[in-house]
Structure 1
Amino acid sequence: MTVGERIKDLRERLNISQVDFANKINVSKQTLYKYENNIITNIPSDKIEAVAKIGNISPAYLMGWDINSSVAIKKGISIPVLGRVAAGIPIEAIEDIIDTEEITKEMAKTGQYFGLKIKGSSMEPKISDGDIIIVRCQDYADSGDIVVATVNGTDATCKRIRKYRDGIELISNNPEYPPKFYSNKQIAELPIRILGKVVELRAKF
């Protein structure tokens, strides 16, 4: 395989569009097309390194010098990890992407997902500051679920939800943070919006 073919193979394995991949390595879509189709063969070293970083592989593999490192190519689907989620902005429109995480293809088939970096200690000890949570986009939740929600137009918060006939309670794991109850009227007027359900925790060491 040529360098361009390896780049294309990697991009397709990661399920990233040409536009998004081109943006990640800071080239135009047309330039990426030329890379992948061997129209441009003398690819700058900084672009090779950028591609390798995205795929978690060695630049040597892309250059054809270390074929054995091809096993390092991720087999799953990459999702964005966000530093914050602002109220009222669709997940796909948020530009504050600080990293990526990988989920299985099987999981990806069940909905849209994003990662969110936790800030603060309200969900300790289980979920700590700096941990990454994997969130499935949905606007509903069952009582007891851990959710990502926005309250009163602020950035999203991670809390456990408890549902009642007359409202909901957003509960922290950390007992130093008391639960907050919101009536059905407050839910509608503030508003309170569920952005997704937390399905996985990827804790830091």
Structure 2
Amino acid sequence: MSIGDRIRKQRLKKDLSQEDLAKMIGTTRQNIYKYETGIVSNIPSDKIEAIARSLQVSPAYLMGWQESDNIVSEDIDLSLYDNILPIKTKKIPLLGEIACGVPIYADEDRECYVEVGTDIRADFALKAKGDSMIGAYIRDGDIVFIRKQPTVEEGEIAAVIIDDEATLKRVYFHKEIGAVELRADNIAYKSLIYSGPELEQLHILGKAIAFQSDVK
């Protein structure tokens, strides 16, 4: 079995299209077709690693150096460990661009999907920028999962559009002065206060319900 055959076998086993796999590894459907058919046999090592991660197999299996397609040893019964839980995943679109105050979500032409556990009831994800929310343990580059809703409760973290940019902030309502305060979770940053006509610049996309961070 060639490397292309192994890729195709695992892709179909995961019920993924060539387009799905291409988006997951940051390439085109045409390239996946070339890999699977052997038109391109010398696949770059970084793409092999990305394909292996996406298909949840080892690079050694794809290369034909390992017969088993299971990363976890079949001799280990994971059910014996009460702190190891099975994971079922689904795809959630990652927020793409912001145009004229309107968010553009990932679609079939974009490469912006995040896999998340099915217990997280989110509508889209947002990549955090900077360190303004480190008090909530959200760091630069973390993926934050958002449930779409037009408003949030006092002090909750929300994804908010400000001047065509999506940001994460805690939201506070000052009804006595007709203002909304967007507060960072980092004392190095000043709060942003919006009132009157300025409120037209502000759009709450939804509530932050979970985040995903890489192990350092």
TM > 0.5 fold call: yes
Q: Which runs of 5+ in 1 are unaligned?
A: none
1:167-197 per-residue CA deviation (whole Å, 9 max, x = no partner) reads 3110112223222221253212xx2122332
Structure 1 counterpart of 2:115, from 92, 96, 102: 102
- Percent identity of equivalent pairs: 21
Distance 1:50 1:178, change over 3 A: closer
Alignment of 1:7 with 2:14, yes or no, is no
Task: Determine if contact 1:138/1:196 at 8 Å carries over to the other structure.
Answer: yes
Residue 181 of structure 1 corresponds to which residue in structure 2? 193
> What is the RMSD of the two structures over their aligned residues, measured on CA atoms?
3.8
What one-letter code is carried by the residue in structure 2 that aligns with 1:92?
A
Alignment of 1:88 with 2:102, yes or no, is yes
Q: Which runs of 5+ in 2 are unaligned?
A: 74-85
3-state SS of 1:125 partner? helix
Mapping of 1:147-162 within 5 angstroms?
147-153=158-164, 155-162=165-172
Structure 2 distance, partners of 1:164, 1:115, is: 27
Residue 204 of structure 2 corresponds to which residue in structure 1? 194
Alignment of 1:44 with 2:48, yes or no, is no
Residue 145 of structure 1 corresponds to which residue in structure 2? 156
Task: Determine if contact 1:148/1:198 at 8 Å carries over to the other structure.
Answer: yes
1:95-133 per-residue CA deviation (whole Å, 9 max, x = no partner) reads 685xx65311232xx3422141331x3223333542514
**Alpha-carbon deviation of 1:138?**
1.6
Deviation >4 Å, runs of 4+? 78-82, 93-97
Task: Determine if contact 1:60/1:66 at 8 Å carries over to the other structure.
Answer: no
**Alpha-carbon deviation of 1:77?**
2.5
Task: Determine if contact 1:79/1:115 at 8 Å carries over to the other structure.
Answer: no
Residue 80 of structure 2 corresponds to which residue in structure 1? none
Residue 57 of structure 1 corresponds to which residue in structure 2? 57
1:4-42 per-residue CA deviation (whole Å, 9 max, x = no partner) reads 2212223x3xxx55424234363436964994xxxx368
What one-letter code is carried by the residue in structure 1 that aligns with 2:181?
E
Distance 1:48 1:8, change over 3 A: farther
Task: Determine if contact 1:77/1:105 at 8 Å carries over to the other structure.
Answer: yes
